[in-house]
Amino acid sequence: MPRRRRNWLRYVIVVAIVLALIGVALRLTGPQAVETATVTSVYPSQSYTLLNATGYVVPQRKAAVASKGQGRVEWLGVLEGTPVKEGQIIARLESNDVAASLAQARAQVKVAQANLELQRAELKNADVDLRRYKILAPQGAVPATQYDAALARYDKARASINSDEAAIVSAQANAQAAQVAVDQTVIRAPFDGLVIEKHANVGDNITPFSSASDSKGAVVTIADMKTLEVEADVAESNIARIAVDQPCEIQLDALPDVRFAGRVSRIVPTVDRSKATVLVKVRFVERDSRVLPEMSAKIAFLSKPVPPEEKKAVVAVQPSAVVTRGGKKVVYAVEHDTAREVPVTTGERIGDLLAVRGVKPGDVLVLAPGDKIADGAKVTLAKK
């Protein structure tokens, strides 16, 4: 009986040892736990970026176009996105009342001119009579009283002419004022630009100096797209690192794959005490039709302009992902839990990353691959 018990114990021990050896073998030949990183694309300008800021694209020349007069919109010739030229008619207000006033004022000018012609004829007649009496009166042919009456008539005719000339000037001024009132019913573009907002429609009342709820102040808003700039708030502690005409690189959220060259246009000489920031305005070196007002933007303030050869993004990885195997530099890309050896060519350091050729953005690489990582090795993500 004791012998059987000893045999049973020996059997149990042997089975336990075998299971332990199997577990060790499985651990040695099973997937290796590794840390990974994703290949990304970066711009070389990141290596000499002094400061980053965020802001918005803003036109420096923008106008809410309205009329000094008031009235109902009877014609509107533009929509959002319509390009306009300086002096182009945008809209017209109803003008029957002011047009009638203009016609009346012009008629008054003609009346004043007709009166002037009448008085000129009267002056001519009075001048003829006065000359006649000047000859006859000294000879006693006519009474002196008739000569005095002729002289008075002549003086009166001259005074009437002066009065009628002044009346013409006054009537012409009234006509000009009436013309201005008519012109104010025609709304024109103040400069070349693009309609970015429409505030009124045909039939709306335009009353620029009123706050009535059923009236509009402006018809449209026009922006000069040639004056687009990026406005960014920079912490006052960093403002010493920025100077006028400093090179910048602008990235728009709407166009993430494009970098625009910029220059610091001006630094507003005041600090927003509530945010402890200074407003910095950055102009575009070259205008692009895809850039629109109010787009979100990121600005990188640079220590030097971006060379042409560095304006394109390059592929970059964590330096620890690159190792040397057989005298060549390689990385291990993870594909379906399998490490694949990929030869690469390295470039310069860009910040904390290393430029490489041979992989593409989005590839997942093993970080710091050890000697146990080889081509075709099974891997699993390490738990953090």
Q: What is the mean pLDDT of each run of 10 residues along the chain (384 residues)?
A: 56 62 50 81 81 94 86 90 93 86 88 83 75 68 68 76 83 89 89 92 77 66 94 94 94 90 94 94 92 94 84 83 87 86 86 85 86 80 62
- For residue 26, what pLDDT is reported? 44
Class of domain 32-44+313-381: mainly beta
Separation of alpha carbons 317 and 353, rounded Å? 6
- For residue 302, what pLDDT is reported? 93
Burial grade of 15 (CB within 10 A; 0-12, 13-18, 19 or more): exposed
Q: Please tell me the pTM assigned to this model.
A: 0.65
Distance of CA 337 to the CA centre of its chain: 48
Write out the two tokens for 208. Answer: 């620029």
Residue matched to tokens 């494009």: 258
- C-beta of residue 115 within 8 angstroms of C-beta of residue 91: no
- For residue 281, what pLDDT is reported? 96
- For residue 212, what pLDDT is reported? 47
Output phi, psi for 294, to 5 deg: 70, 10
For 251-299, give the DSSP string: EETTEEEEEEEEEEEEEEEEEETTTTEEEEEEEESS--TT--TT-EEEE
Residue matched to tokens 């910029």: 262
Is the CATH number of domain 47-60+225-310 2.70.98.60?
no
Angle 145-147-149 from CA coordinates, rounded to 5° = 70
Residue matched to tokens 């000129």: 120
Taking the domains of the chain in order of start, what are their residue ranges? 1-30, 32-44+313-381, 47-60+225-310, 65-86+188-223, 96-183
- C-beta of residue 173 within 8 angstroms of C-beta of residue 112: no
Separation of alpha carbons 54 and 40, rounded Å? 22
- C-beta of residue 101 within 8 angstroms of C-beta of residue 255: no
- C-beta of residue 114 within 8 angstroms of C-beta of residue 167: no
Specify the amino acid at residue 27: R
Burial grade of 204 (CB within 10 A; 0-12, 13-18, 19 or more): middle
382: CB partners within 8 A, 6+ apart: 33, 34, 35
Separation of alpha carbons 165 and 280, rounded Å? 60
For 302-367, give the DSSP string: ESSPPPGGGSS-EEEE-GGG-EEETTEEEEEEEETTEEEEEE-EEEEEETTEEEEES--TT-EEES
- For residue 20, what pLDDT is reported? 57
- For residue 239, what pLDDT is reported? 93
237: CB partners within 8 A, 6+ apart: 276
Separation of alpha carbons 29 and 21, rounded Å? 12
Distance of CA 44 to the CA centre of its chain: 27
- C-beta of residue 202 within 8 angstroms of C-beta of residue 61: no
Q: Measured on CA atoms in the order 286, 288, 293, 295, is the torsion positive or negative?
A: negative
- For residue 382, what pLDDT is reported? 66
